[in-house]
Amino acid sequence: MSFQSRLTCLAGGLTACLALVAGSTFAADSDTARLTKDPKNWAMQAGSLDNHRYSELKQITSKNAKNLQVAWTFSTGVLRGHEGGPLVIGDTMYLHSPFPNKVFAIALEDQSIRWKYEPKQDPTVIPVMCCDTVNRGLAYANGKIFLQQADTTLVALDAKTGNELWKVKVGDPKLGETTTNTPHVFKDKVLTGISGGEFGVRGRITAHDINTGKILWKAYSTGPDNELIVDPNKTMTWTDGKMAPIGANSSLKTWQGDQWKLGGGTTWGWYSYDPELNTVYYGTGNPSTWNPRQRPGDNKWSMTIFARDLDTGMAKWVYQMTPHDEWDYDGVNEMILADIKVKGKPRKALVHFDRNGFAYTMDRVSGELLVAEKYDPVVNWATHIDMKSGRPQVVAKYSTDKNGPDVNTKGVCPSALGTKDQQPASFSPRTGLFYVPTNHVCMDYEPFQIEYTAGQPYVGSTLSMYAAPNSHGGMGNFIAWDAGTGKMVWSKPERFSVWSGALSTAGDVVFYGTLEGYLKAVDLNGKELWKFKTPSGIIGNVTTWEYKGKQYVGVLSGIGGWAGIGLAAGLTKGTEGLGAVGGYKDLAKYTELGGVLTVFALPDR
Amino acid sequence: MKPSRLLPLPLLLSMLLLAPMSTALAAPPAAQAAQADDFPTSGRVEYVLECMQKHDGKYEYLYKCSCVVDRIAKSLRYDDYVAMSVALRNQSLAGERGGEFRDEVSVRNMASKYKEIEAGANKACAVPQR
C-alpha cells in the first residue's frame, strides 16, 4: 500500500480503506521491511533492504568480543559448499543447505527442529552448476519462507508448518539454467534470478506475486528493448560525462547476429531496494562465451548495474562496468545503498565492489557515476575508469581479446574470481565505511574457440591462478573502504582469499570468516580481537540476532573440500565403537551431519 | 583427502628452496615453530575424531591418532597446521575457485609439506596411511 493510500485510509475510515485496498492494483506490502527494522531479527539474507549487513545490536563489543564462546551448533547433513546464512524471525531460525536444498525451521529455545523440508530434485542438475552446488539462503515474508532450488524452482512454504504453498519454475536445467541466488522480497513481490553464464544462458530476473508465485514481470539482460524492459528515450545511462537516454536497440547493436540469445548476463547476486524510490538494484554477469573474440561488441547489458521500477520492471538507468568482458569479471556483486557524503556532498549512493577490481559509487537516484577506484592496488587489467565515458582504460598486454585465442595472457590482476566475488561486504552507518572481503589473486588466461551445445559448458578458456606477486604472499585481504573518496582506509592481509560475507555491528565489531575456518572479530581499525576455528572453511555470511536478551553471532562453515569429516561422519553410524563420542548420541534429535552452523555468544557471568 | 596431483620430488624441492622467505603469509619454515606445541585441546580432539573415523572408529585409534596429532603439534604451530591441512584438503575443491588451491605454488607446497609431516607421524604411531 502506498503512503498516499494510507493517508486516504486515515481520512476515509475503515470502509473506504477496505474498498480502496480491494480495488487497488497493488497488493499490501509484506512485513519483511518492518521485521528487518527490529535488530533482534535477521529477516533478510543481508539483514535489510539496502544490503548493509549491519546490526544495531551492541551487547557484543570490541571490548568483550574476545570472550565469545560456542553457544550451540547445527549440522545440515550436506557436505558441499555452504554459502548464505540463517534467517531469524522471533523465536525461530530458518536455515537452508546446498543441493538438495533442505530447509530447517529451528526453535531458538532448544534448537529442536520444528519442521524440515527437502525438495525432490533431479540430481542431473549438479553437473550443470558451474561453481559447486551452493545456495545463498532463504527469504521470508507474511508467514512464508521462499526457497530458490538449484533446479530453478522457486517455492513458497508455510513458515509455521513447512507445507508447500506454491511453486514455479523459472528456468530449464537441460539448457544449463540453474539457480543459486537467494530470493529477494521487496514490498509485495519476490524477485529471483538465474545462473548459468558458463552454459550460454540468457540472463533475466523475474518478479513474482508473493501469494501465488505468478510472474508479474520478466526482464532480460540482453536482447530487444521490450524484453529488456527499457524505454529507449527514458532509460538513462552515463554518456560523455552526463546521463543520456540509451536509445533504441541498445543491446542488439552490441552483439554479432543472434549471439545475444546465448549472451549470459546472469543474475545470481545480491539485489537491493530503495522503498522511497521504489527502485530495485542488481547486477548482471559475464557475457557468454568466455572467449571474447567470438563475441565482438560491448555485449550489452552484460556486466551491468540495473536500476528498475519494482512495480513495472521498467529500467530507470543502467551502467555497464566492463564492456566486452575479456576476463569473466561478472557484475553480480551486492548493490549497497548508503546515504553518504561523496566528495563532500551528501548523496543517495549505490556502492558496488565489482569483480573487475573497481569500487563504484553511483548516485542511485540518477545513475550518475561519482567514484570508480581500484580497491586492491594490484589491479592491472585497466589503468583507471575514464570518468567521462565511464569506460575502463584497458591495458593492451592484459587484453585476452587482443592477444587472441590460444595465446596465454599472463599476469592479469585480478583473476577470474575477481577482487571480490559474491561474498557480500558490510556497511556501518556508524563509521560510514565499507568492510570488504577480498581476493588478492592474479591469473594467466587462455581463451579457445568453442561451439555452443545446449546444457554443456560454454566457457572457452583455461586459466591458472596464483597469489598477487610482489605482495604479502597471501591470497586475500579484508579491507575498510571509504566510498565517498574511493580510498582504502586499512587492509588486513589473509593467507587465503576471504570468501565469507562480512557483518558490522553497533558494538563496533566487524566479523568475517576465512577459508581456514576461522570466524574472526576485528575492531574498527582492523585489529584482530578474537578468532575461533570452526569445523571447515567459511564461505557463508556472518549473521547476528537476539533471543531472550542475549546477542548471538552465527556462521555456516563447509567449503566443499570437506574438513571436520570426523566430527560430521563419525556420528552417522558405528558410534558404538566410538567410546569418545558416545555421549553425543542424543544429539541425533537436534542435529544432522555435514555443513555446520556455529553459534556464538558471550558467557553468562 | 588425496591431493589431485603430486609434483615430482626434485621439482618440489627446488620450489621449496626457491620460495622467497619474505612472503610472510606463505607457509613458514617448520623449524622456527618446532617448540611451540600450541595446539588447543579442541584442535587435537577434532583431529583424533576425524582420524578415528577414517579407521572405522576402532577404539585403538584413540591412542594411535592422539599419538599422531601430538607429533604433528611438535613440528608445526597450530595456525600453520590449520593453513597447511586446509591447503591439502582443498586440492580437491570443486569448480573454478578450487584453482586457488591447485594452481598457487606456495599453497601446493603447504599441502605437500603437511602430507609429508602427517605421513611421518603416522609411521611413528603405527597408523596405516589412508
pLDDT score at A31: 96
Question: Cα separation of A533 and A537, whole Å?
Answer: 9
Asked whether A299 and A292 are in contact (CB, 8 A), the reply is no
Q: Which residue has the higher pLDDT, A123 or A345?
A: A345
H or E element in which residue A385 lies = strand A382-385
Does A4 fall in a domain?
no
DSSP state of A238: E
Closest CA to A139 of A35, A28, A280, A45: A45
Q: What is the enclosing helix (H) or strand (E) of A169?
A: strand A164-169
Nearest CA to A176 out of A307, A289, A324 is that of A289
Residue A515 in contact with partner chain B when CB distance is under 8 A: yes
Rounded CA-CA distance A242/A238 in Å is: 5
Q: pTM of the prediction? A: 0.89
Write down the number of H helices and E strands in chain B. Answer: 6, 0
* Burial letters A255-272, b for 16+ CB under 10 A, else e: beeebbebbbbbbbbbbb
Contacts of A570 in chain B (CB under 8 A): 49-50, 52-53, 57
In terms of Cα–Cα distance, which of A152, A341, A186 is closest to A279? A186
Cα–Cα nearest to A321, from A282, A366, A354: A354
Give kind and range of the element (H or E) at residue B123.
helix B105-124
Measure B97 CA to nearest chain A CA, in Å: 7
Per-residue pLDDT tens digits for A409-424: 999 999 998 999 999 9
DSSP string of A464-494, one letter each residue: EEEEPTTS-S-SEEEEEEETTTTEEEEEEEE
Domains held by chain A: number: 1
Ranking A214-218, A242-246, A395-399, B5-9 by mean pLDDT, the lowest is: B5-9
Q: Is A94 helix (H, G, I), strand (E, B) or coil?
A: strand
Asked if residue A10 is part of any domain, the answer here is no
- E strand or H helix that includes residue B116: helix B105-124
- Return the beta strands (E) in B79-129 as ranges: none
Given a cut of 70, whether residue A85 has pLDDT beyond it is yes
Tell me the H-state helices in A82-177. none
> Within 10 A of A484 (CB to CB), how many other CB atoms are there?
22
DSSP track, A196-223: -GGGT-B-EEEEEETTT--EEEEEESSS
Gap between the Cα atoms of B60 and A564, Å rounded: 20
pLDDT surpassing 50 at residue A566: no
Mean pLDDT of A88-95: 98
Residue A552 has pLDDT above 90, yes or no: yes
**Is A22 a domain residue?**
no
**Cβ contact B94–A463 (<8 Å):** no
Higher pLDDT, B20 or B89: B89
Binary contact (B91, A564; C-beta < 8 A): no
Peptide bond into A73 cis (omega under 30): no
Q: Note whether B58 contacts A464, CB cutoff 8 Å.
A: no
Region of residue A36 (phi > 0: left; psi between -120 and 50: alpha; otherwise: beta):
alpha
Across A382-386, A425-429, B19-23, least confident range: B19-23
Distances (CA, A) of B20 to A149, A269, A469, A474, B14: 46, 38, 11, 13, 12
Average pLDDT of the residues in B69-94: 90
Of A594 and A60, the one with more pLDDT: A60
**Do residues A582 and A575 lie in contact, with contact meaning Cβ atoms separated by under 8 Å?**
yes
A80 near B CB under 8 A: yes
The ipTM estimated for the assembled molecules is 0.84
Burial A139-166 (b: 16+ CB within 10 A, else e): bbbbebbbbbbbbbbbbbbebeebeebb
Residue A10 pLDDT > 50, yes or no?
Answer: no
Band of the pLDDT at A27, cuts 50, 70, 90?
low
Residue B5 burial (C-beta neighbours within 10 Å; 0-12, 13-18, 19+): exposed
pLDDT tens digit sequence for A457-512: 776 777 889 999 999 999 999 999 999 999 999 999 999 999 999 999 999 999 99
Sheet with strand A528-533: strands edge to edge = A54-55, A503-505, A510-513, A518-522, A528-533
- CA-nearest residue of chain B to A535? B46
Active site residue ranges of A: 328
Instruction: Determine the pLDDT at residue B35.
Output: 64
CB contact under 8 A, A570 and B49: yes
Structural contact between residues A283 and A352, judged by C-beta atoms closer than 8 angstroms: yes
- Residue A235 in any domain: the answer is yes
Tens-place pLDDT, residues A279-288: 999 999 999 8
For chain B, state the CA radius of gyration.
15
pLDDT of residue A122: 87
Smallest CA–CA distance, residue B48 to chain A, in Å, is: 8
Amino acid (one-letter) located at A418: G
Tell whether A500 is covered by a domain: yes
Nearest to B106 by CA among A467, A371, A206: A467
The nearest alpha carbon in chain A to B40 belongs to A533
The per-residue pLDDT for A23 is 38
pLDDT at A233 (0 to 100): 98
Going by C-alpha positions, the residue among A480, A271, A521 that lies closest to residue A359 is A480
- Domain, as residue range, for A560: 31-601
For B86, which of A439, A516, A577 is closest by C-beta distance? A516
Residues 433-472 of A with CB under 8 A from B: 439, 441, 463-467, 472
Is residue A14 scored above 50 in pLDDT? no
pLDDT-based confidence at residue A197 (cuts at 50, 70, 90): confident
What is the number of alpha carbons within 13 Å of residue A90 lying toward its C-beta? 11
C-alpha cell at A512: 568475517
> What pLDDT is stored for residue A594 in this prediction?
64
Contact flag B23-A472 (C-beta cutoff 8 Å): yes
Q: What angle do CA B108, B110, B111 make, to 5 degrees?
A: 65
Q: Is residue A380 part of a domain?
A: yes
Return the number of other C-beta atoms located less than 10 Å from residue A480's C-beta. Answer: 23
Interchain proximity A580–B100, CB inside 8 Å: no
Angle at A313 between CA A312 and CA A316, to 5 degrees: 105
The pLDDT tens digits for B2-40 are 333 333 444 444 444 444 433 445 544 444 445 679 999
CATH of residue A41: 2.140.10.10
What digits encode the pLDDT tens for the residues A255-273? 999 999 999 999 999 999 9
Query: Is the pLDDT confidence value at A443 over 60?
Result: yes
Distance CA A414, CA A329 (A): 9
What does each C-alpha distance from A350 to A271, A319, A335, A426 come to in angstroms? 11, 12, 6, 13
Domain positions in chain B are 39-124
CA distance A291 to A461: 6
Residue A132, all three cell numbers: 559447486
Task: Using the structure block, give the residue that is written with the C-alpha cell 542424543.
Answer: A586
Residue type, A375: Y
Q: The cell 537476539 sits on which residue?
A: A546
A561 touches chain B (CB under 8 A): yes
Mean residue pLDDT of chain A comes to 89
Return the closest-CA partner of residue A510 out of A436, A457, A451, A589.
A436
